[in-house]
Amino acid sequence: MAASGVRVTVITADGHVLADSQSETRTMESHADRPEVRAAMALGSQAKRRSVSVGRDLLYYAIRSDAAVRPPLVLRFAAPLTCM
């Protein structure tokens, strides 16, 4: 993932970050209120905003994954706006 500049985050339905390709998850706050995470739980989303974790403007795309996981997870991808 590092070569592409794309950040990948796996988030539980209640906002707990399970994995992140660019940040240490133990220090991360709940992502339950992030706009792309809330929208992804409903139908999928995208958002442009500044990342609190990495301090850069990113384009986010998030989707809900129901594949054999209960409760569902949110898979979030983010790329620097400079890549767009």
Mean pLDDT of the chain: 82
- For 12, 22, 27, 31, 53, the CA distances from 73, given in Å and listed in that order, are 5, 19, 20, 12, 20
What is d(CA 10, CA 13) in angstroms, rounded to the nearest whole number? 10
Q: Is the pLDDT score of 31 beyond 60? A: yes
pTM value is 0.66
What is the structure's pLDDT at 1? 43
What average pLDDT score do residues 45-65 get? Answer: 84
**Helix (H, G, I), strand (E, B), or coil: what is residue 65?**
strand
Return the C-alpha torsion angle 24, 28, 30, 35, nearest 10.
Answer: -80
Q: Is the pLDDT score of 11 beyond 60? A: yes
**What six digits make up the tokens of 14?**
């209640």
Q: Is the pLDDT score of 83 beyond 70? A: no
Nearest to 17, CA basis, from 79, 74, 78, 61:
74
What average pLDDT score do residues 17-38 get? Answer: 88
What average pLDDT score do residues 38-61 get? Answer: 82
